[in-house]
Amino acid sequence: MNLSSITSTSAFQLPLLPIPQSHASRSCGLVENLAIECQSLSYSVTTKQGKSKPILKDCSLSIPSGQLWMLLGPNGSGKSTLLKILAGLLTPSEGFFRVKKPRGFVFQNPDHQVVMPTVKDDVAFGLSRFNLTYDEITSRVEKALDAVGMYEYLQRPVQTLSGGQKQRVAIAGALAEKCKVLLLDELTTFLDDTDQVGVIKAVKSTLASSEGITALWVTHRLEELEYAEGAVYMEEGQVVMHGDPPTIRGFIEARQAAYIKQIYS
Ligand SMILES: Nc1ncnc2c1ncn2[C@@H]1O[C@H](COP(=O)(O)OP(=O)(O)OP(=O)(O)O)[C@@H](O)[C@H]1O
Ligand SMILES: [Mg+2]
């Protein structure tokens, strides 16, 4: 079920669970092994009528280094906006955030980010600004492709790849730039089940074999929570919960069940 069907918290009443104490009690700067920290982050846009429209409201979360976390919530709840702020593409209106650098942002549609004719050239593309030798570039490209299970596709034309393979190439691009934080926005939306599992397993094994790389993975698919070490759930621009995946999965399923019950009552 797509969470987009559960957009209104006023449609039914369920108690909101608090953020787990272990996370809520942390304050910025005190926990050194965090890859991502947000404190009271808000973001507003100005409408054509000149009014301020809040998109994110008072969002706080913390994600430890070296872990895969998922970010879930209904359509329009603010997931992509939060990710873009963490990627440095948008500036928050209020609040504080810190993300370990370098950081890489991978978009939902693989065709929007795989730009060069061959896999090798595409992964090497972002390295041109680092003043590296040819050997260094080759080594980084090969290592990054190996990490996502795409080494044997080095010379392949990008256009011959599946959607999931293109996503893995895009992730390899971020790894080649030695990104410490991967911000991954709904990579599996356009993928079939095999590609979906391939991409998430590639991310998981990359984190397992690398020192301190952290990934924040936006998804609508509850079953992907089984790969995560932590999760964040948003509604209407706010972080409702963040913590362990089984608790958050149970919370979302309860929300869905209550919504369905309300429709059929
Ligand atoms: N520049 C903008 N101007 C006006 N509204 C905006 C702007 N950017 C985002 N929004 C609105 O902010 C809300 C959050 O958008 P966002 O894309 O972050 O949601 P999302 O959780 O990623 O949704 P989805 O699951 O559909 O990808 C939406 O209602 C969206 O229409
Ligand atoms: Mg989005």
- Which domain CATH number covers 252? 3.40.50.300
In this prediction, residues 223-236 reach a mean pLDDT of 96
- pLDDT number for residue 26: 41
Q: Is residue 186 part of a domain?
A: yes
Q: Is the distance from the beta carbon of residue 80 to the nearest atom of ligand 1 less than 6 Å?
A: yes
Count of domains in the chain?
A: 1
Atom of ligand 1 nearest to the CA of 55: 12
50 domain-assigned: no
In a domain, 222, yes or no: yes
Across the range 94-100, mean pLDDT stands at 97
**Mean confidence (pLDDT) of the chain:** 86
- Rounded mean pLDDT of 110-118? 82
The answer as to whether 124 is a domain residue is: yes
Q: Is 53 within the bounds of a domain? A: no
Cβ pair 50, 210 in contact under 8 A = no
Take residue 116 and report the two structure tokens written for it.
Answer: 């060069």
243 within some domain? yes
Q: pTM of the predicted model, to two decimals?
A: 0.85
C-alpha 138 – ligand 2 centre gap (Å): 34
Per-residue pLDDT, 31: 52
Determine, yes or no, domain membership for 105. yes
Question: Which of 53-67, 100-114, 146-160, 231-245 is least confident?
Answer: 100-114
What is the pLDDT averaged over residues 125-150? 93
**Structure tokens that stand for 79 in this block:** 């997931």
- Domain extent, residue 161, equals 65-88+101-264
From the CB of residue 191, how many other CB atoms can be counted at a distance below 10 Å? 20
What atom in ligand 1 is closest to the CA of residue 218? 22
Q: Kindly state whether residue 126 falls inside one of the protein's structural domains.
A: yes
